[in-house]
Structures are given as C-alpha cells and as structure tokens.
Amino acid sequence: MSTPDEIRAEIEATRGNLGSDVDALADKVNPSSIAHRQTEKVKGRFE
C-alpha cells in the first residue's frame, strides 16, 4: 500500500510528464514548426 506522500510524488511526476508531452505535441502541430521541418527535409534531399 502506498503512503499519501508516495501517491503525491507519483501525481507530481505524472503531471510533469504530461506537461512535457503537451509541449512536444504543441510544437509538432505548430505551423511554423511544420514549415521548418519540411524545409529541412527538402534541403536534405539536395545535399
């Protein structure tokens, strides 16, 4: 059985992980990020 302190620590760790996931997802769907990735992909084909 977990103690309340252990449960709180797990919740905080989960919140931190979710925050990172949301930030990564937001960057992935950001139009300027998409354009930058596409530009880099095209540049890579011509090198």
For residue 10, what pLDDT is reported? 95
* CA atoms of 19 and 46, how far apart (whole Å): 37
Taking the CA atoms of the chain, what radius of gyration do you get in angstroms?
19
For residue 1, what pLDDT is reported? 80
pLDDT in tens, 3-42: 999 999 999 999 988 888 888 888 888 888 888 888 998 9
- pLDDT value at 47 more than 80: no
* Secondary structure tally for the chain: helices H, strands E: 2, 0
**Do 27 and 33 form a contact (C-beta atoms < 8 A)?**
yes
Cβ contacts of 28 within 8 Å, gap of 6 or more: 34
